[in-house]
Structure 1
């Protein structure tokens, strides 16, 4: 059985600029096919526009509001929204309020699979 406590996972800043707390991923569990992390952005902050060649990604908003862009299409997002980011899709999220959301990646998130313009 693998259980990780939120408070015991150390936050870090990813290549795209968001603050991440890995909940279950290659760094802390015998994960094979996916990863789960919590991301936070302060009001006015945004991730750097990027894509992942391999990983399909889901965002699930827990708190705050913002603006999501995927391949040039933008929409407002709020708590309860689940967002699909296909592999190869350019994306960026911007917080209009302090934001907290879950990031699920399959295959697991890897810095080496994050690409910028």
Structure 2
């Protein structure tokens, strides 16, 4: 066991100028810290098997979930059930930083809409 942070975790980039860090990456659990700059978003999608929990560390997230819009502030979270169509966006002026926990891991289980 070791202490992990975004300084020591495996880093990757996605979309346009977004960052991710694998904090936990096992066969049954994924915990990722991500950063989304102002004005950027992920592609609308769903996961066939994975359920997810997004927890906002800083900034404000806009989450479209099955046609309903949610505004999620720092230190708040939202659960995304498997099969739910969703899209996270940063519509504000500051970076959006959050963790997303997926079980089972969502990589390879994403269907873009």
Structure 2 CA distance, aligned partners of 1:102 and 1:47? 14
**TM-score between both structures, scaled by the size of structure 2:** 0.87
TM superposition score normalised by structure 1: 0.84
Q: Does 1:94 align with 2:89?
A: yes
Query: Matched residues in 2 for 1:20 and 1:5: separation?
Result: 12
- Give the distance between the partners of 2:65 and 2:72, measured in 1 at CA: 12
Aligned to 2:46: 51
Superposition RMSD in Å: 1.5
Consecutive unaligned residues in structure 1, runs of 5 or more: 26-30
Corresponding residue for 2:19?
Answer: 19
Contact 2:46 2:111 in 1 (8 A): yes
C-alpha separation between the residues in 1 aligned to 2:105 and 2:51? 9
CA distance in 2 between partners of 1:44 and 1:33 (Å): 32
Which of 18, 22, 40 pairs up with 2:35?
40
SS at match of 1:51: strand
- Answer whether contact 2:42 2:87 (CA < 8 A) is retained: yes
Structure 2 portions without partners, runs of 5+: none
Q: Which has the higher strand share?
A: 2
- In the other structure, the counterpart of 1:7 is 7
Query: What's the counterpart of residue 28 of structure 1?
Result: none
In the alignment of these two chains, the number of paired residues is 109
For 1:85, which of 46, 65, 80 is the aligned residue? 80
C-alpha distance in 2, partners of 1:9/1:103?
15
